[in-house]
Amino acid sequence: MISLENESLKVWVKPKGAELKSLVNKKTGIEHIWDSDPDFWAKSSPVLFPIVGGLKDDTYIFEGKSYTLPRHGFARDNMFELVSRDKEQATFKFESSEATLKVYPFHFDFFITYVLDGASLAVNYKVVNTGDIKMLFSLGAHPAFAVPFDQEEGYNNFSLEFDTQEDLKRWPLSPEGLIEKEPIDLKLEDNKLDLTKELFEEDALVFKNLKSEGITLKSKMSQNYLKFTFSNFPFFGIWAAKNSNFVCLEPWCGIADSVDHNQELTEKEGMNTLAAGQSFERGWAVEVG
């Protein structure tokens, strides 16, 4: 694995999927990334590309041809090349190949860059269309943050505080992981969502068009916190595996198919378009204290 370190943080990134595996606050000794326990969920921070969520019957149609992709696409399961690195920054690259073109007919370069800045880690995604036709894609993050910070605190003592007043509506997922037709109100207390193991019994909480660009994870029992910031992501997911000690904060440029989608890629909600030779960038950051 590739390590990055400064006076405040130590980070480890695995080249497979360019996946963040560890984020340690050196001042407190707290490990903030889920340990990938396979009894619950064997990943820690997979990238979602070139789709977010699931496709109806795992299939989409482009220019009259059907293609099959698994939930969240294929980038997370492929090796990335380390293209640059110093003590506090690293950039990884994954590019289209004969294998990817069989299931996704677009040429691309996909870069993920990790940068340390004091007690913050910034993660940047860059997609480049290296082909000669318009590229259609979705992109999302899926970092899992360990909860509680200290075993004595307990999961139920934690909450997620949104930085802007929200009138939340969550979009339920069908048993097949598709977006249902109507949202459900989700009320907050003092703009906070209290964490409980029961919160995710019906899968992820999926939101559209949050006003907030920051969410703070903190405990009622200590001053330690984790602030997650993001911008220009029209969709957002919050999830944890059943009875697990983590919470995923997931900014998305893309979303699963709706239950009544016709499977045409050009008509899929949340698709981004990129002209030949052009690039697309998004990012998120986490600050710990």
**Hey, how many other C-beta atoms are within 10 angstroms of the C-beta on 23?**
26
Beta-carbon contacts of residue 134 (< 8 Å; ≥ 6 apart): 273, 274, 275, 276
State residue 267 phi and psi, 5-degree precision. -115, 10
Residue 150 has what pLDDT?
87
Structure tokens at 97: 């190949």
Task: Indicate the domain borders of the chain.
Answer: 2-288
Residue with tokens 């996909």: 110
pLDDT tens digits, 95-118: 999 999 999 999 999 999 999 999
**pLDDT for 8:** 98
pLDDT at 90 over 90: yes
- The model's pLDDT over 31-45, given as tens digits with 9 standing for 90+, comes to 999 999 999 999 999
Q: What is the pLDDT of residue 152?
A: 81
Alpha-carbon span 152 to 105, nearest angstrom:
50
Look at residue 29 in the predicted model and tell me its pLDDT: 96
Give the largest Cα separation in the chain, rounded: 57
> How high is the pLDDT of residue 145?
98
Residue-wise pLDDT tens digits, 214-272: 999 999 998 999 999 999 999 999 999 999 999 999 999 999 999 999 999 999 999 99
Architecture of the domain spanning 2-288: Distorted Sandwich (2.70)
Percent of the chain with pLDDT over 90: 97
Task: Dump pLDDT digits (tens) for 7-21.
Answer: 999 999 999 999 999
pLDDT tens-digit series, residues 132-158: 999 999 999 999 999 999 878 899 999
Reported as a single tens digit per residue, the pLDDT across 162-208 is 999 999 999 999 999 999 999 999 999 899 999 999 999 989 999 99
Concatenating the DSSP letter of every residue in the chain gives -EEEE-SSEEEEEETBTTEEEEEEETTTTEE-B----TTT-S-SS--BBS-SSPPGGGEEEETTEEEE--TTBSGGGSBPEEEEEETTEEEEEEE--HHHHHHS---EEEEEEEEEETTEEEEEEEEEE-SSS-EEE-EE---EEES-SSTTT-GGGEEEEESS---EEE--B-TTSPBPSS-EEE--BTTEEE--GGGGTTS-EEEES-S-SEEEEEESS-S-EEEEEE-S-SEEEEE--TT-SEEEEEEEE--PPBTT---BGGG-TT-EEE-TT-EEEEEEEEEE-
Assigned token pair, 33: 């990334």
Residue showing tokens 């003592």: 157
